[in-house]
Amino acid sequence: MPPLSTVDWSPLTLSLKVAFVATLVALALGVALGWLFARRRFPGRLLLESAFMLPLVLPPTVIGYGILVAAGRRSPLGAWLREHFDYTIIFNWHGAVVASALVALPLVLKSASSAFAEVDRTLEAAARTLGQSPFSVFLRVTLPLAWPGILAGTLLAFARAMGEFGASLMVAGSIPGQTQTLSMAIYDAVQAGKDDLALLLVIVTSLLSIGILAASTRYLSLR
């Protein structure tokens, strides 16, 4: 195993940065959508919820291809961003964030939806009788009661974003020091025959994942 001082840890730091930003995006969308699907009934709700859950079962390459079609350089959105802002998510760590957020979203959404559905409505009704606005009831009653379940799903989403490979590779590539995340670094090390380096990175990834899963299980037990 190579000395730790000689190892390039930029894939680890980039993975943590990508996973953190992607998890924030997934958390914001997941909480909003989870509340909507748990508390509102409208035509097409099940179909819409299934569409948001698709990244959970689709191959990552399908997600990556969808991002390329929607925001690639040849797409209307990609061309507009390139023309007006000289910006593209292709071969950019931002592309890895988009891919990771998409695959992590279903984990937050499902946990948030279940958590909101289990909140006692009588407590919310009591808060409204005390003159609280709907938004205040959500912030002071609904969200705190649902938070342990939401946090458990968020931790799982972070772990999923940390391990994202296929979609991120298609969109961001594996450029050392720029877009190469931990999972990509492991793949590249194996391809290059650097088995000692690959083993070290696998151990680091496994320890991080075990810690995150343990924390998620802890918060699930609080529900």
Give the pLDDT score at 4: 62
Does 4 map to a domain? no
Q: 97 near 21, Cβ under 8 Å? A: yes
Buried b (16+ CB within 10 A) or exposed e, 132-141: beeeebbeeb
Tell me the residue range of the domain where 96 lies. 9-220
Does 205 map to a domain? yes
Give the pLDDT score at 223: 55
Does 203 map to a domain? yes
Give the pLDDT score at 219: 63
Q: 109 near 53, Cβ under 8 Å? A: yes
Q: Which residue's structure tokens are 């609904």? A: 142
Q: Which two tokens stand for residue 84?
A: 């007006």
Distance of alpha carbon 183 from alpha carbon 205, whole angstroms: 8
Does 152 map to a domain? yes
Buried b (16+ CB within 10 A) or exposed e, 74-108: eeeebeebeeeeeebbbebbbbbbbbbbbbbbbbb
The CATH number assigned to the domain holding 76 equals 1.10.3720.10
Does 3 map to a domain? no
Residue 56: Cβ-neighbour burial (10 angstroms; 0-12, 13-18, 19+): middle
Distance of alpha carbon 32 from alpha carbon 24, whole angstroms: 13
Domains contained in the chain, number: 1
Distance of alpha carbon 151 from alpha carbon 222, whole angstroms: 11
Q: 96 near 122, Cβ under 8 Å? A: no
Tens digits of pLDDT across the chain (223 residues): 666 667 788 899 999 999 999 999 999 999 999 999 998 888 988 999 999 999 989 999 999 999 999 988 888 988 898 888 889 899 999 999 999 999 999 999 999 999 999 998 898 888 888 888 888 999 899 999 999 889 989 988 999 999 899 899 999 989 898 999 999 999 999 999 999 999 999 999 899 888 888 877 776 665 5
Does 186 map to a domain? yes
Does 2 map to a domain? no
Give the pLDDT score at 130: 85
Does 169 map to a domain? yes
Phi then psi for residue 58, to 5 deg, are: -75, 145
The upper half-sphere exposure of residue 88, i.e. CA atoms within 13 Å in the direction of its Cβ, equals: 16
Q: 209 near 35, Cβ under 8 Å? A: no
Q: Residue 205's CB: how many other CB atoms inside 10 A?
A: 20
